[in-house]
């Protein structure tokens, strides 16, 4: 998946309030959080929804898990924004219910080889949706050399899967795992085997291209 998505806070507020998540109103998000981006790239902070006291509340987290360990002499590893191989021991501790989250979005991008640019997808009904995310605490340095941020961080990544027939012509390798409202409870609370059954492509007619 291309490492770029958008989360329009006003649209998130309208759509998620309709789902019954009052904490996701635009006003409450802006009051609660002062560090988030609506145009999201790796290592930027974004709005993530996690359960606190049984309620889904917005939290600011930085996109990308720590890199996998590399052998000496190999290229500098990159942070990990997408999760595909769920059998890896690297991911297993963070697949428990307490480390699952949803990542609200209004569109996502894939790199179009023919177009030579990001191609954006949104739901056919225009509504917000969510990626199946996981999160973890981490201590270290993030940010850039010019503007390093050292200390405690909350980091998130999200699941990917094979692309559906609509996304595949643009990006044949993968697409994010999309959660609909009816999937939220399963992803956040169900045992791992049941929750991970959601790692599947979105229906072919679920998304459209943004002109």
DSSP-derived pairing of the beta strands 117-123 and 107-112: antiparallel
Predicted local confidence at residue 71, as pLDDT? 64
Report how far residue 17's alpha carbon sits from residue 9's, in angstroms, rounded to the nearest whole number: 12
**Torsion sign (Cα): 130, 136, 139, 145:** negative
pLDDT at 19: 83
Residues with Cβ within 8 Å of residue 77, at least 6 apart in sequence: 67, 68, 69, 70
- In order of 29, 38, 57, 67, 181, the CA distances from 43 in angstroms are 20, 13, 21, 12, 27
The tally of CA atoms less than 13 A away on the side-chain side of residue 179 is 27
State the pLDDT at residue 150: 82
**pLDDT given at position 18:** 84
CA-atom Rg of the chain in angstroms: 17
Q: 33 by DSSP, 3-state: which?
A: coil
Per-residue pLDDT of the chain (211 residues; tens, 9 = 90+): 568 999 999 999 999 988 889 899 999 999 999 899 999 999 999 999 999 998 999 999 999 999 877 666 666 678 999 998 888 888 888 999 999 999 999 999 998 877 778 999 999 999 999 999 999 999 988 877 787 788 899 999 999 999 999 999 999 999 999 998 899 999 999 999 999 999 999 999 999 999 7
The whole-number pLDDT of residue 57 equals: 93
- What does the pLDDT read at residue 91? 87
| H-assigned helices in the chain | 9-18, 26-32, 184-189, 192-195
CATH of 5-64+79-209, one of 3.90.1680.10, 1.10.3720.10, 3.40.800.10, 3.90.1150.10: 3.90.1680.10
| Cα–Cα distance for residue pair 209/119, rounded to 1 Å | 7
The total of other beta-carbon atoms located within 10 Å of residue 71's CB is: 5
């Amino acid at each position: 998946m291309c490492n770029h998505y958008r989360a329009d806070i006003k649209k998130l507020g309208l759509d998620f309030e309709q789902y019954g998540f009052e904490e996701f109103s635009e006003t409450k998000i802006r009051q609660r959080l002062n560090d988030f981006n609506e145009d999201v790239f790796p290592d930027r902070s974004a709005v993530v929804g996690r359960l606190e006291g049984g309620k889904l509340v917005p939290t600011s987290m930085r996109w990308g898990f720590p890199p996998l360990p590399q052998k000496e002499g190999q290229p500098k590893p990159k942070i990990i924004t997408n999760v595909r191989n769920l059998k890896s021991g690297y991911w297993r501790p963070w697949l428990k219910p307490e480390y699952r989250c949803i990542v609200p979005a209004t569109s996502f991008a894939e790199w179009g080889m023919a177009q030579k640019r990001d191609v954006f997808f949104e739901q056919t009904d225009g509504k917000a949706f969510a990626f199946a995310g996981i999160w973890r605490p981490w201590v270290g340095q993030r940010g850039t050399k010019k503007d390093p941020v050292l200390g405690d961080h909350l980091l998130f990544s999200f699941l990917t899967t094979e692309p559906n027939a609509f996304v595949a012509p643009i990006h044949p390798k993968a697409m994010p795992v999309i959660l609909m409202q009816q999937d939220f409870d399963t992803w956040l609370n169900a045992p791992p085997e049941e929750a991970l059954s959601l790692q599947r492509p979105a229906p072919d007619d679920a998304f459209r291209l943004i002109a």
